[in-house]
Structure 1
Amino acid sequence: MKKSERNYMSLQFSARSENEGFARIAVAAFLSRLDITLEEIEEIKTVVSEAVTNSIIHGYEEDENGLVTISTSYSDMAIEIIVEDNGIGIANLDEARQPLFTTKPELERSGMGFTIMENFTDSMEVSTGLHLGTRIRLVKYLAKNEALCN
């Protein structure tokens, strides 16, 4: 594959908790042709789980009528994952990004979603607005090319 070529997929699904596993498997299957380590694929599956769960639990407050969109692309240099919802948005993004902060303590949420996403990827961008939804863009450089990307 030429360095400028990207492979791309996008899918949309109901904001139902059982679809979190589907999203993990779909992204992992899409990336399966890449020469990545088991550790890298597990980290990717984890960040997909965190982002999708945030959309379902916090963005839509478990309203199953909402839709979550996940787009994934890759080149020989990096993987990009975008998770989007049209939910309630995040009132205070700085606060939400703090470790252990959660708006759902009654659901025994750990408040580590953003922290995990930041630790398992090389770049995380969050765009949000009240009643405008949330878009999380995650980039993970492929280990064999990481030195070239930094």
Structure 2
Amino acid sequence: MEILNEIKFIMPSLSVNEGAARAVVSSFLIQADPTVEELSDIRTAVSEAVTNAVVHGYRHKKGDIELTVRLLPDRVIYIRVKDRGCGIEDVEKAMEPLFTTAPEEERSGLGFSVMQSFMDKLKVKSTPDKGTTVTMRKRLSAHGN
């Protein structure tokens, strides 16, 4: 896989860093000239992935979240959000709309559904007690605005 450009960002698992992740992604993607809608979709998907790592992966405990963003040929954006938290026992079940492990926190259980709706591809790999890696891809339109 040819990588045209790449950025890696490691942040502590604090909910305030959700905004930092969005800012990093936005700044990096400017070079690809995405449409406003594409940028918004990608920022939202990243926000959901980081929130999942904070709330479900680490359950508000301290740990690192790794964000990798790559610009690939043909205007493809690759994003990976990785944590070393508690992991997901049943990924298929976790990806069902409205499923949540934190109902007491009034979580809607739509994180993965939102990521799927805004990105072209979503892959979730997880091992209990080892962590979760969310990989997303989106091809940008031919010419951004």
TM-score, normalized by length of structure 1? 0.91
Instruction: State the match for 1:35 in structure 2.
Output: 33
Q: Indicate the percent of aligned positions where both proteins have the same amino acid.
A: 40
Instruction: State the match for 2:7 in structure 1.
Output: 9
4+ runs of 1 displaced by more than 3 Å? none
Unaligned runs of 5+ in 2: none
Letter of the 1:75 counterpart: L
Instruction: State the match for 2:70 in structure 1.
Output: 73
Instruction: State the match for 1:46 in structure 2.
Output: 44
CA offset digits 1:104-125 (Å, max 9, x no partner): 1111111000001011111111
CA distance in structure 2 between the partners assigned to 1:53 and 1:88 by the alignment: 14
CA distance in structure 1 between the partners assigned to 2:8 and 2:101 by the alignment: 29
CA distance in structure 2 between the partners assigned to 1:20 and 1:35 by the alignment: 23
Alignment of 1:52-67 (within 5 A): 52-63=50-61, 65-67=62-64
TM-score, normalized by length of structure 2? 0.94
CA distance in structure 2 between the partners assigned to 1:103 and 1:14 by the alignment: 21
Matched, 1:21 2:19: yes
SS of residue in 2 equivalent to 1:36: coil
User: How many residues end up aligned between the 2 structures?
Assistant: 141
Unaligned runs of 5+ in 1: 146-150
Compared with structure 1, are the counterparts of its residues 5 and 128 closer, same or farther at alpha carbon in structure 2 (3 Å cutoff)? Answer: closer
Tell me the CA shift for residue 75 of structure 1.
Answer: 2.7
CA distance in structure 2 between the partners assigned to 1:129 and 1:35 by the alignment: 36
Which of the pair has the greater relative contact order for Cα pairs under 8 Å at 6+ separation?
2
